[in-house]
């Protein structure tokens, strides 16, 4: 007889009744080959004693096993594993997780075979990140208040039911007002889809605009996750130079004479990673080219809300009268990265298609969070938060740049950014950033190693240094460590 | 002079300073062609009087306009729109949203050109849905308590920062316990990715497994959003018959002799829409075929937690020893559709690739919600909720089926489902479901018209009738209306 006492471990606190637990264990023993077709099962009396449960429970388990078609009762002989079960092999060893060369059980093409680099960001006490907000400033208490208020107010609780793939109607309306007030961007709520952060906007736009081998123009340096998204859908990335005035639109114009371009991805405000702003003249020329060549402009304006010198440039979308611009923005960036709310604006038919695709991806967003954000826009909490954090970030930028200038003058070249949450820092070529990051981590400071910003045509020895998430004493401590390890 | 008084509308309560508002309006007037290159702007004195603001504000606005490169100051003449601006045409008419035949501004291929059918579900007082949970039962207060507790507890507020694309480590651990207890499914948290509902699991699996023209086997009748997702990635759907014992695996075996199949999508528990359960023998045979032919089985088990006769069949994933099964489940379905939490389980390399793709789609899930769900699994709230709703749904199923039997015997054919939240109802061919749904809506009852369940090879005059979201009096009222309109 098999060692049932150790094979059959039951849990009296589990949410499944005892007889079902016993039945399920027998099924596993049968399917993994421990019990073979035609094997006899122990009598209910014997098993009950062995594993210390009531005999009736064992009987119920056997009845269940028989009714599910795993076993049969033969009169005056006992209960047997069904003789005509498809033959089952002995159990395999556990999944080989370490040896990646082992053949997979099914055939698929891994487009992501590069392992995700382990992220040390949360492992260190201090971190100079790539330009993330300080989540300690996020008005979480106010958000919780709105959550409670919504969850109590609505009888029928529609906010818990399936909703619109375009997102909460309330938030779309509130965003219309907000975008009109802050950006002179006047759209109807039919032209907005609420996304999960700006990343989902980029993904949806890429899926809808690009077919394999289509060309998309991007900056020589560019936001890596946008590049990856365009590459994922099979598009061809055409790199356009970026200089102090942003994307080189004359170069793009020349490119258009030899290549058909489906879309241009641009971050006109503070180009990622180098934070340059595209000049007005180039913006107008880009719009003109888009109209002539019928390409789409994907305008990623994730950073709009952070301007320290009160000079927000109007987005391309606000001055586009031919509907060539797909405008992508984020509230996650302003509030808290893990509360993923962004938006994409475009021609109605495009936004409707995006909503259909979104339906296939994840049906819809979190209506509770969307409605709560809408209420915080309406009652001014969001605006108060923006103003408050803008003021704090400006102080942090100033202090950060002062320290960089006084303490790192020899090794870091940078421009004071007039917006955004990070300083693009060119390090002296002698400095090995990978080693610097490793040494810093040993001393409790996370700092990037510059790898994320490199691509096949951009290889600066630089990185974005985020100042927004560090308060004064943290900043002094963090840059103190960096100074030591350089 | 232009009618500046009406053109320049300022808002003293807007979060943007007055001079930036004025500047932005001028930019819009320039870019939409109202102001042309070399046009003169009104003097600051005149404009200030016209629109009723301080003259210095107008001066600041003009300075901003000049510094942004839109205008130039010519000594002793005034301020002029820059003469060398790229020529801009007169403003277009507003976006033509109604006429779909108008040429789009940019070139893209709309794979979703069928308009989304308008959803009347929330418009009626009463609804017989496709089998949704009653969100009024969801323990929202407990969820709010966990939200508050998390938002207060963690200094540094990591739950608001960027997190893991695989989802909250806490929730993945809690799910390991839950899956082991309820389904005998023993996996490590590395094999789990938290998704937004089961739909995201289907989407990720489809993107990773299928290339254009690959074959995937699905039921003759099938979950329409799964079909749409596979079609979206360009896969070929091969339809396999479904009978009273679930998917016809002998048919599949025959199919495999003539077609290469990349994956089989199956809902073995309560097949959608017809709610049949795949027999044990067929399950084992399917696993055997998968091993031989190296295809993946996408097991959609969204419905596992709803069994009224205490006979949960073990998932395929629990008895699969060759790692052929990708297992997809949902908590949204059990809790509330708008709180989108699901999971996908598979070989570690596959789950890692899914996490990479998810990073491109929306980076990550909502850590706050994920952690709160984890705490509700750990402290037993989730289990209490499952038990409580199961008891209520069983009563509702019984009443619903009794009424169907006594009042609709002539017109509806159905089996009492031993699980799930809906009854698959075959209507008498004489009954026009589209007309029935229209008539019902006029009387305040939403009911489906059967369209969603049809496909190129399945055309039953039937629908799923959800009983779970209706309490006793609502159910009686709803079926009363239905009786009247039939």
Token reading at B411: 């017109």
Residues of B in contact with A69 (CB under 8 A): 279-281
Is B298 in a helix, a strand, or coil?
A: strand
List the single residue in A27, A203, A336 with the smallest CB-CB distance to B361. Answer: A203
Given a cut of 80, is residue A93 above it in pLDDT?
no
Q: In this complex, is the C-beta atom of B171 within 8 Å of any C-beta atom belonging to chain A?
A: no
Whether the predicted interface score ipTM is above 0.85: yes
Tokens of A243: 């200089």
Q: How far apart, in whole angstroms, are the C-alpha atoms of residue B203 and residue A262?
A: 25
Residue B98 in this model has a pLDDT that exceeds 70: no
- Note the Cα B334 to chain centre separation in Å: 15
Arithmetic mean of pLDDT, B388-396: 95
**What pLDDT, on the 0 to 100 scale, is given for residue B87?**
55
Tell me which of A430-439, B4-13, B262-271, B416-425 is least confident: B4-13
Does A338 contact B366 at a Cβ distance shorter than 8 Å?
Answer: yes
Torsion angle (degrees, nearest 10) of CA A415, A416, A422, A428:
30
pLDDT at A89: 52
- Which has more pLDDT, A311 or A308? A308
Q: Per the CB < 8 Å rule, is A97 touching B348? A: yes
Contact A105 B324 (CB under 8 A): yes
Pair of tokens at residue A152: 């109590």
The answer, yes or no, to whether residue A18 has pLDDT greater than 50, is yes
- Considering CB atoms only, which of A165, A310, A366 is closest to B20? A310
CA distance A51 to B334: 34
If DSSP states are collapsed to H, E and C, what string results for A98-142?
CCCCCCCCCCCCCCCCCCCCCCCHHHCCEEECCCCCCHHHCCHHH
Rg of the Cα trace of chain A? 30
Which pLDDT belongs to residue A421? Answer: 95
A contacts of B116 (beta carbons < 8 Å): 165, 352, 355-356, 359
pLDDT at A438 over 90: yes
pLDDT bracket for residue A87 (50, 70, 90): low
B391/B151: higher pLDDT: B391
A-B interface: how many C-beta pairs under 8 angstroms?
357
Lowest mean pLDDT among A90-94, B122-126, B294-298: A90-94
Q: How far apart are alpha carbons A297 and B316 in whole angstroms?
A: 47
pLDDT at B124: 84
pLDDT at A101 (0 to 100): 46
d(CA A168, CA A161): 12
Residue ranges and CATH numbers for the domains of chain A are 4-81 (1.10.10.10), 123-134+384-485 (3.90.1150.10), 157-381 (3.40.640.10)
pLDDT confidence band for A15 (50 / 70 / 90): confident
Residues 193-212 of B with CB under 8 A from A: 195-197, 199-200, 203, 208-209, 211
Question: Which residues make beta-bridge pairs with B88?
Answer: none
- In angstroms, the CA A46 to CA A9 distance is 16
Can you tell me the distance from the alpha carbon of B454 to that of B432, in angstroms, rounded to the nearest whole number? Answer: 14
Cα(A399)–Cα(A404) distance, integer angstroms: 9
CB contact under 8 A, B294 and A64: no
Q: What is the mean pLDDT of chain A?
A: 89
Find chain B residues with C-beta within 8 A of A298's C-beta: none
pLDDT digits over B46-89, tens only? Answer: 999 888 899 999 999 999 888 888 899 998 899 999 887 765 55
* Window 447-466 of A, Cβ < 8 Å to B: none
Mean pLDDT for A29-42 is 86
Q: What is the rounded end-to-end Cα distance, in angstroms, of chain B?
A: 68
CA distance B410 to chain A (A): 32
User: Nearest-CA distance from A407 to chain B in Å?
Assistant: 28
Terminal alpha carbon distance of chain A:
69
DSSP state of A416: -
CA distance readout (Å), B381 to B143, B254, B384, B385: 9, 47, 5, 6
Residue B427: phi and psi, rounded to 5, are: -90, 150
pLDDT bin (cut points 50, 70, 90) of residue B155 is low
pLDDT above 60 for B179: yes
Of A196, A318, A368, the CB nearest to B338: A368
Confidence of residue B310 (pLDDT cuts 50, 70, 90): low
Task: Give pairs for A328-331: CB < 8 Å, separation 24+.
Answer: A328/A195, A328/A198, A328/A201, A328/A202, A328/A205, A328/A298, A328/A299, A328/A300, A328/A301, A328/A302, A329/A179, A329/A198, A329/A201, A329/A301, A329/A302, A329/A304, A330/A197, A330/A198, A330/A302, A331/A373, A331/A382
Q: For residue A138, which of B368, B144, B268, B462 has the smallest C-alpha distance?
A: B368
Q: Residues near B3 by Cβ (< 8 Å), separated by ≥ 6?
A: none
- Pull the structure tokens for residue B207: 């993107």
At residue B116, does pLDDT exceed 60? no
A355–B contact, CB cutoff 8 A = yes
Q: How does pLDDT run across A201-260, given as a tens digit for each residue?
A: 999 999 999 999 999 999 999 999 999 999 999 999 999 999 999 999 999 999 999 999
Q: Are A308 and A397 in contact (CB under 8 A)?
A: yes
User: What was the pLDDT predicted at A96?
Assistant: 44
Whether the CB of B241 is below 8 Å from some CB of chain A: the reply is no
As to burial, measured by CB atoms within 10 angstroms (0-12 exposed, 13-18 middle, 19+ buried), residue A31 is buried
Backbone dihedral angles phi then psi of residue B272, each to the nearest 5 degrees? -95, 125
| B-proximal residues of A, 358-397, CB under 8 Å | 359-369, 383, 386-387
Q: Are B478 and B434 in contact (CB under 8 A)?
A: no
């Amino acid at each position: 007889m098999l060692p049932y006492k150790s094979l059959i471990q039951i849990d009296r606190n589990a949410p499944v009744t005892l007889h079902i637990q016993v039945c399920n264990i027998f099924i596993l023993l049968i399917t993994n080959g421990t019990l073979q077709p035609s094997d006899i099962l122990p009598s209910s009396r014997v098993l009950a004693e062995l594993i210390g449960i009531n005999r009736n429970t064992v009987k119920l388990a056997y009845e269940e096993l028989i009714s599910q078609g795993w076993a049969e009762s033969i009169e005056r002989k006992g209960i047997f594993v069904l003789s005509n079960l498809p033959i089952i092999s002995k159990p395999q060893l556990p999944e080989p997780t370490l040896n990646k060369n082992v053949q997979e059980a099914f055939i698929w093409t891994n487009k992501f075979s590069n392992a995700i680099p382990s992220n040390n960001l949360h492992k260190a006490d201090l971190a100079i990140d790539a330009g993330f907000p300080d989540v300690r400033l996020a008005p979480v208490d106010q958000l919780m208040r709105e959550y409670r208020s919504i969850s109590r107010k609505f009888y029928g609780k529609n906010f818990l039911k399936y909703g619109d793939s375009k997102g909460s109607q309330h938030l779309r309306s509130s965003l219309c007002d907000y975008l009109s007030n802050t950006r002179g961007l006047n759209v109807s709520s039919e032209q907005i889809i609420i996304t999960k952060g700006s990343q989902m906007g980029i993904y949806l736009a890429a899926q809808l605009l690009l077919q394999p081998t289509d060309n998309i123009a991007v900056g020589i340096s560019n936001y890596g996750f946008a590049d990856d998204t365009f590459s994922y859908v099979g598009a061809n990335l055409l790199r356009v130079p970026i200089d102090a005035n942003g994307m080189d639109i004359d170069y793009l114009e020349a490119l258009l004479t030899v290549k058909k371009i489906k879309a241009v991805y641009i971050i006109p405000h503070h180009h990622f990673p180098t934070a340059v702003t595209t000049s007005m003249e180039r913006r107008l020329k880009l719009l003109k080219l888009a109209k002539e060549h019928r390409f789409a402009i994907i305008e990623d304006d994730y950073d709009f809300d952070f301007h320290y010198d009160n000079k927000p440039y109007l987005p391309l979308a606000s001055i586009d009268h031919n509907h060539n611009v797909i405008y992508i923005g984020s509230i996650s960036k302003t509030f808290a990265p893990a509360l993923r709310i962004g938006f994409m604006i475009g021609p109605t038919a495009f936004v409707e298609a995006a909503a259909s695709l979104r339906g296939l991806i994840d049906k819809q967003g979190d209506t509770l969070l969307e409605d709560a954000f809408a209420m915080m826009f309406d009652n001014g909490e969001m605006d108060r938060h923006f103003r408050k954090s803008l003021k704090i970030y400006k102080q942090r930028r100033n202090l950060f740049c002062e320290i960089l200038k006084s303490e790192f003058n020899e090794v870091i070249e940078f421009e004071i950014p007039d917006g955004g949450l990070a300083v693009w820092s060119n390090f002296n070529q002698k400095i090995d950033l990978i080693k610097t990051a490793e040494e810093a981590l040993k001393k409790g400071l996370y700092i990037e190693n510059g790898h994320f910003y490199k691509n096949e045509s951009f290889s600066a020895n630089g990185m974005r240094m985020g100042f927004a998430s560090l308060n004064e004493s943290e900043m002094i401590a963090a840059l103190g460590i960096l100074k030591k390890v350089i």
